[in-house]
Amino acid sequence: MILVNIPFYESGELSPEGADAVADQVEGFALNESGLTPRVFKGEIAMKGPDFAGMCSSVAEAVARQPFGDRLCLVGRDHSVSYAGFKAFAAKNAGAGLVVLSHFPGCEACGGSAVHRSFVKRIIREGIVPADRVMLFGLREWTGEEKQFLDSSKVKSFPMKQVEMNGLSDVVDGFTELLNAWQSIYLCINMGVADPSCAPGVEDPSPGGLSARQLIYLVQRLRLMRNLKMMDIIGVDAGRDVNGMTSMLAAKLIAELS
Say if residues 41 and 1 touch (Cβ distance below 8 Å): yes
- Domains: count for the chain: 1
As a whole number, the mean pLDDT across the chain is: 91
Indicate the helix (H) or strand (E) that contains 134. Answer: strand 134-137
Confidence at residue 14, expressed as pLDDT on a 0 to 100 scale? 46
| CA-to-CA separations, 25 to 136, 192, 232, in angstroms, rounded | 27, 18, 16
Which of 129, 123, 160, 124 shows the shortest CA–CA distance to 142? 160
Confidence at residue 16, expressed as pLDDT on a 0 to 100 scale? 55
Say yes or no to pLDDT of 68 above 70. Answer: no
Which of 218, 151, 221 shows the shortest CA–CA distance to 180? 221
**For 157-202, how does the pLDDT look when each residue is reduced to its tens digit (9 = 90+)?**
999 999 999 999 999 999 999 999 999 999 999 999 999 999 999 9
Confidence at residue 134, expressed as pLDDT on a 0 to 100 scale? 97
Q: What is the largest CA-CA distance in the chain?
A: 47
Confidence at residue 11, expressed as pLDDT on a 0 to 100 scale? 67
Say if residues 82 and 193 touch (Cβ distance below 8 Å): no
12 vs 156, more confident? 156
Q: How confident is the model at residue 49 (pLDDT cuts 50, 70, 90)?
A: confident
Q: How confident is the model at residue 35 (pLDDT cuts 50, 70, 90)?
A: very high
**For 197-256, how does the pLDDT look when each residue is reduced to its tens digit (9 = 90+)?**
999 999 889 999 999 999 999 999 999 999 999 999 999 988 889 999 999 999 999 999
Q: How far apart are CA 195 and CA 210, in angstroms?
A: 5
Say yes or no to pLDDT of 15 above 60. Answer: no
The end-to-end CA distance of the chain, in Å, is 6
| Rounded to 5°, angle at Cα 16 from 10 and 21 | 125
Q: How confident is the model at residue 12 (pLDDT cuts 50, 70, 90)?
A: low
Confidence at residue 50, expressed as pLDDT on a 0 to 100 scale? 80
Q: How far apart are CA 135 and CA 220, in angstroms?
A: 17
Domain that holds residue 112: 2-257
In this structure, what CATH number is given to the domain that contains residue 32?
A: 3.40.800.10
| CA-to-CA separations, 57 to 48, 134, 254, in angstroms, rounded | 7, 23, 24
Q: Is 48 exposed, middle or buried (0-12, 13-18, 19+ CB in 10 A)?
A: middle
Confidence at residue 18, expressed as pLDDT on a 0 to 100 scale? 67
Range in 41-45, 67-71, 183-187, 230-234 with the lowest mean pLDDT: 67-71
Say yes or no to pLDDT of 104 above 70. Answer: yes
Find all residues with CB under 8 Å of 95, minimum gap 6, and list them: 133, 182, 183, 184
**For 190-203, how does the pLDDT look when each residue is reduced to its tens digit (9 = 90+)?**
999 999 999 999 98
Q: How far apart are CA 232 and CA 81, in angstroms?
A: 8
Say if residues 22 and 94 touch (Cβ distance below 8 Å): no
Q: What is the percent of the chain with per-residue pLDDT over 90, rounded to a whole number?
A: 72
